[in-house]
């Protein structure tokens, strides 16, 4: 069930450089959402700002949901300035959700603005006591808000080496899991910038690992009306397919796709 609900802001703070976390009271969306799903948010009720912004749900439960986002443009700047008590127009939960983690050893990989659905999955795995490895990448230490704890299988990377391992998330994957050193049931779950996810996809292919990727394709409506979020699927072998089979919609069929299913994350 998808709800349109006025979420009440109960906290809104900068948790790292330019990265904000907002917690809403939103009982319907909270009780019906799953890790990996998103909400489509109207940042302001001003008639000049009619476009919603999709944001992954970073946590749910106890009538609350949270989002974690980077302030990159007009909408997210409005969001960063929401006052406590403000009511925000939310539609959700939207899209599909992470699956297949109960029967696998999950390696969960987030980067940039793609950390929210990965942290949500991390929390579920901790709660269910499922052994897993968390890898998060950023450009520098200021963008991280989590400790680097290799002893707990939590690895951070930074492009400039200011925190954790110098390099990107795939450099971490290669250093801790040399080719062929994965357990048989390893599955990768990833969300981040398109170039990062393409690299994660290549790594999974090279290592013959199952891999699900949450795409952050630019969206408008969020539920299949505008056709603005198409993702090209690999052509079927017999060449016979409908337009709909060939071009998935990130909002309805995704945002999570298997790495084998799509041509590119870009």
Peptide bond just before 93 cis, omega within 30 deg:
yes
Residue 220 touches which member of ligand FES, ligand FAD, none, C-beta under 5-8 Å by kind: ligand FES
Q: Does 73 bind ligand FAD (CB under 6 A)?
A: yes
Q: Which residue has the tokens 């006025």?
A: 6
Residue 113 touches which member of ligand FES, ligand FAD, none, C-beta under 5-8 Å by kind: ligand FAD
Measured distance CA(229)–CA(212) in Å, rounded: 18
Helix (H) / strand (E) containing 5? strand 3-16
Q: Does 106 bind ligand FAD (CB under 6 A)?
A: no
Please choose, out of 5-13, 19-27, 80-88, 221-229, the segment that lies near ligand FES by the rule CB under 6 A.
221-229
Measured distance CA(173)–CA(15) in Å, rounded: 26
Residue 76 touches which member of ligand FES, ligand FAD, none, C-beta under 5-8 Å by kind: ligand FAD
Nearest to 40 by CA among 196, 189, 195, 216: 216
**Shorter beta-carbon distance to ligand FES: residue 156 or 249:** 249
Q: CB of 61: closest distance to ligand FES in angstroms?
A: 27
Please choose, out of 5-13, 66-74, 83-91, 168-176, the segment that lies near ligand FAD by the rule CB under 6 A.
66-74
Q: What are phi and psi of 68, to 5 degrees?
A: -125, 125
Q: Is 198 left (phi over 0), alpha (psi -120 to 50) or beta?
A: alpha
Q: Does 222 bind ligand FES (CB under 6 A)?
A: yes
- Give the binding site for ligand FAD (CB under 6 A): 38, 53-56, 67-70, 72-76, 113, 116, 216-219, 255
């Amino acid at each position: 069930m998808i709800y349109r609900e006025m979420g009440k802001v109960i906290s809104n703070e900068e948790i790292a450089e330019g990265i904000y976390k907002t917690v809403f009271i939103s009982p319907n969306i909270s009780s019906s959402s799953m890790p990996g799903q998103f909400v489509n948010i109207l940042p302001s009720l001003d008639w000049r700002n009619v476009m919603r912004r999709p944001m992954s749900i970073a946590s749910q439960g106890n009538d609350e949901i949270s989002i974690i986002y980077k302030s990159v443009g007009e909408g997210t700047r409005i969001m960063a300035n929401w006052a406590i008590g403000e009511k925000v127009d939310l539609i959700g939960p939207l899209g599909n959700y992470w699956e297949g983690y109960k029967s696998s050893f999950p390696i969960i990989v987030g980067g940039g603005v793609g950390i929210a659905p990965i942290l949500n999955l991390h929390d579920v795995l901790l709660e269910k006591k499922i052994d897993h490895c968390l890898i998060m990448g950023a450009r520098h230490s200021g963008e991280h808000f989590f400790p680097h704890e290799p002893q707990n299988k939590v690895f951070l990377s930074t492009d400039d080496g200011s925190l954790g391992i110098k390099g990107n998330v795939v450099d971490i994957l290669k250093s801790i899991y040399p080719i062929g050193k994965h357990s048989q049931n390893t599955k990768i779950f990833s969300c981040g910038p398109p170039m990062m996810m393409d690299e994660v996809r290549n790594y999974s292919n090279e290592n013959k690992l199952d891999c699900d990727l949450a795409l952050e394709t630019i969206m408008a409506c969020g539920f299949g009306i505008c056709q603005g979020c198409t993702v090209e699927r690999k052509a079927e072998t017999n060449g016979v397919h409908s337009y709909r089979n060939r071009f998935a919609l990130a909002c309805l069929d995704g945002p999570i796709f298997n790495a084998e299913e799509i041509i590119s994350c870009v």
